[in-house]
Amino acid sequence: MTKSRQIFIVGSSRSGTTMMGRILSNHKDVFTFKELHFFGTLWTLSDKKKITQKVQIDLMSRLLCIQERGIFNQKHFLDFYCKAKNILKNKHCNNSLDIYKLFLNTITKENKAFISCEQTPKNLYYIEEILKCFPDAFIINLVRDQRDVLLSQKNKWRRKFLGANQIPFFEALRSYINYHPILIAKVWNSSLCYTSKFMNHKRVKVIKFEELLLSPEMIIEDVCKFLEINFCKEMLRVPLIGSSTQNDDPKIDFIDKSKINKWKNGGISDAEIYLSQKFSKKMMQEFGYEEKKNKFF
């Protein structure tokens, strides 16, 4: 079986990784997977030892289940046992990473594409491992204004009620309880520290979400050149799905510029803005995000 190429879309949560995945999935040669959360969840740095056939089938079953039913519905992953067993038949896999590569290759080919696109945001923290394990892979790293990320994270719990019915209630509750401007600012700052390490790597492209929204055709043409694929305007037709402030609307198929600087229109307080800027100041400056002056602090 001919091996597929890989694209990994990474970035801080709520930074446009899903949108980029949808854009690329509109290309005939690209198949975009759901968020698989393989690195750091199903695989760790110490996971290099040989695994038994049973463990191989279980892992393949779980990956198939996540792709078919989503990350929150893995309880009955053994429903995919037979398919997993068939995929692994006569294949020589030694470890978890071999299973993951085989999974990407198989499902991509099933969907009549030859480029696998993985869009798990937190793969950002595994860029070095991905570049090493996938020597032909390209990485697209999305960056977004921390205050818009903050606004989106604040409303993330609403996704369950705006069209994402598959999100369990406890997950929506967790998103609501875990919201805090300092925590989110620190996570954002950490993610951009990782981003900055690979700014000049030839297989990593860093894209500001705001620039994508302002000049989608120009940015995606540049992305396609980087990925060595042809650009087509149909790639820019993406539905409104995944917003934390609007209902999903598949009928909308354009890139919405109104998402830029949405935080300026309200939704987060001056205190939240102050705290978020205080704990992410260095990376805001490095990536060209202007600080808002606050007369009360």
Note whether residue 1 is domain-resident: no
DSSP per position, 14-25: TSSHHHHHHHHH
CA-to-CA dists, residue 46 to 23, 104, 125, 148, 176, angstroms: 34, 21, 15, 36, 33
To the nearest whole number, what is the mean pLDDT of the chain? Answer: 87
Note whether residue 208 is domain-resident: yes
The band of 253, judged by pLDDT with boundaries at 50, 70 and 90, is low
State the pLDDT at residue 148. Answer: 92
pLDDT at 261 over 60: yes
Tell me the torsion sign for CA atoms 90, 93, 98, 103.
positive
Note whether residue 222 is domain-resident: yes
Question: Of the candidates 175, 160, 158, which has an alpha carbon nearest to the alpha carbon of residue 245?
Answer: 158
Note whether residue 36 is domain-resident: no
Q: What CATH number corresponds to the domain at position 137?
A: 3.40.50.300
Q: Which are the contacts of 89, defined by CB distance < 8 A and separation ≥ 6?
A: none
State the pLDDT at residue 250. Answer: 53
Q: How many domains does the chain have?
A: 1
What is the domain range of residue 223? 122-297
pLDDT (mean) for 66-80: 90
Note whether residue 240 is domain-resident: yes
Contact 144, 14 (CB under 8 A): yes
State the pLDDT at residue 165. Answer: 59
Note whether residue 278 is domain-resident: yes
Note whether residue 22 is domain-resident: no
Contact 12, 134 (CB under 8 A): no
pLDDT (mean) for 259-280: 89
Q: Which are the contacts of 217, defined by CB distance < 8 A and separation ≥ 6?
A: 233, 236
Expressed in percent and rounded to 5, the helix, strand and coil fractions of the chain are 50, 10, 40
pLDDT (mean) for 104-132: 96
State the pLDDT at residue 14. Answer: 83
State the pLDDT at residue 49. Answer: 82
**pLDDT per residue as tens digits for the range 125-171:** 999 999 999 999 999 999 999 999 988 878 754 544 444 556 555 55
**pLDDT per residue as tens digits for the range 180-215:** 889 889 999 999 999 999 999 999 999 999 999 999
State the pLDDT at residue 254. Answer: 60
CB atoms within 10 A of CB 162: 18
Contact 27, 235 (CB under 8 A): yes
Q: Which residues of 167-204 are buried (b: 16+ CB within 10 A; e: fewer)?
A: beeebbeebeeebebeebbebbbebbebbeebeeeebb
What's the count of helices (H) and strands (E) in the chain, helices before strands? 12, 5
- Which DSSP symbol is given to 291? P
Of 70-74, 114-118, 220-224, the range with the lowest mean pLDDT is 70-74
**pLDDT per residue as tens digits for the range 216-247:** 999 999 999 999 999 999 999 987 654 444 44
Note whether residue 96 is domain-resident: no
